[in-house]
Amino acid sequence: MEFNNKVSEVLKSPLTASGLQSLQVNVGYICNMSCKHCHVAAGPNRSEIMKKDTVDQILDVLKKHDIRTLDVTGGAPEMNPYFPYLVTEARKAGCHVIVRSNLTIFFEKGFEQIPEFYREHDIEISASLPYYLASSVDRVRGNGTFEKSIKAIQLLNGTGYGDGSGIRKLNLVYNPSGAFLAPDQKRLEEEYRRELKARHGISFDHLFVFSNMPIGRFRNHLEKTRTLSSYLEKLEQAFNPATLDGLMCRHLINVGWDGALYDCDFNQVLALHMHESCPQHIRDFDFVRLLKREMHVGDHCYGCAAGQGST
Ligand code: SF4
């Protein structure tokens, strides 16, 4: 069954926004890594990058409206030259800032000051760590990634991140390493906590467990291994109506590197723009209209609503 029909069956209406608490901003697809599970297919050769006039339009929206959180993503967001400016100004405007960091960027030339920058501005960090064993992480993200990630977390722990106080939050993100659904979040979080402490002496605040979305590089992999239709079936069979309230598109809007607006990061990758009655670019931002919008959904949305949900 198509996702929109499934939603209508449960909600008796299409999927609509239920708030606008966050602006999720993708500042570009350039990255120092090329992870297999990356849904935006980021990498060192990508040239899409947000320019200063778009950053200024975002800051303008944050200053004028009651949007409490800026969620910055990429690629490696730190590689955008206006990243420090965006973060610093958003903090001055009173926003809570979350950055999706790959952690390995801390060891690239010219980015060594990033952990201190995060500490200084009380930035919440969300970092991918697909497992607590080196072999699983390096298979998905490249050789040596696990070791660098652990070193980065040790650095962050040393500056007060991940101590559970809730002041400098460090969250880790798990993705399955193949075409299977994510396990129970609470159980896996306990396992991560125990194993990472015992093996590497590190700590973190929360573990977020996400299923892989059937888009980008992962979709290519599914097509190549002829497992796309069985994976899509698996997601549909695991549809959980209880996830609908928390779907991220219902609480945020996503801004692409060129200022285009989307319901979420996944729709951005698929170039599924917002409903045509909505503003299409950050310069035309209209809080009231966006708050009433209907989502542009597709079958990939089953990835967000399977099992315990993935947003
Ligand atoms: S893919 Fe995007 S639009 Fe679809 S349910 Fe997930 S967050 Fe919402």
- Of 10, 24, 74, give the one whose Cα is nearest residue 253: 24
Q: State in Å: Cα 266 to ligand 1 middle.
A: 7
Average pLDDT over residues 12-38: 92
Ligand 1 closest atom vs CA 300? 1
pLDDT (0 to 100) of residue 242 = 93
More confident residue, 131 or 51: 51
* 60 located within any domain: yes
- In the chain, the percentage of residues whose pLDDT exceeds 70 is 99
Q: State in Å: Cα 295 to ligand 1 middle.
A: 8
Q: Quick check: 49 and 257 in contact, CB under 8 A? A: yes
pLDDT tops 70 at residue 310: no
What distance separates the 2 farthest-apart alpha carbons in the chain? 53
pLDDT in tens, 190-199: 999 999 999 9
pLDDT (0 to 100) of residue 139 = 82
**Beta-strand relationship, 170-174 and 206-209:** parallel
What is the model's pTM?
0.93
Average pLDDT over residues 241-264: 96
Residue with the smallest CA separation from ligand 1 atom 1 is 301
- Residues with CB under 6 Å of ligand 1 are 247-249, 263-264, 266-267, 295, 297, 300-301, 304, 311
* 311 located within any domain: no
Give the separation between CA 269 and CA 282, rounded to whole angstroms.
Answer: 17
The distance of Cα 102 from the centroid of its chain, to the nearest Å, equals: 11
Give the separation between CA 110 and CA 108, rounded to whole angstroms.
Answer: 6
* 35 located within any domain: yes
Q: Quick check: 219 and 235 in contact, CB under 8 A? A: no
- What is the domain-level CATH number for residue 42? 3.20.20.70
More confident residue, 58 or 183: 58
CA angle, 25 as apex, 181 and 70 as ends, to 5°?
95
The reply to whether omega before 75 is within 30° of 0 (cis) is yes
Ligand 1 closest atom vs CA 272? 3
Mean pLDDT of the chain: 93
* 68 located within any domain: yes
CA angle, 289 as apex, 268 and 49 as ends, to 5°?
30
Average pLDDT over residues 56-66: 97
Q: Quick check: 54 and 258 in contact, CB under 8 A? A: yes
Q: State in Å: Cα 199 to ligand 1 middle.
A: 36
pLDDT tops 90 at residue 160: yes
pLDDT tops 80 at residue 55: yes
Of the pLDDT bands very low, low, confident and very high (cuts 50, 70, 90), residue 164 is confident
The distance of Cα 40 from the centroid of its chain, to the nearest Å, equals: 10
pLDDT tops 70 at residue 169: yes
The first and second tokens of residue 272, run together, are 């599924």
Number of structural domains (the chain) is: 1
Give the separation between CA 176 and CA 297, rounded to whole angstroms.
Answer: 23
Say whether 281 sits in a helix, a strand or coil. strand
pLDDT (0 to 100) of residue 311 = 61
Residue with the smallest CA separation from ligand 1 atom 4 is 301
* 121 located within any domain: yes
pLDDT (0 to 100) of residue 80 = 98
The distance of Cα 113 from the centroid of its chain, to the nearest Å, equals: 23
Range of the structural domain that residue 219 is part of: 3-305
* 125 located within any domain: yes
* 23 located within any domain: yes
* 310 located within any domain: no
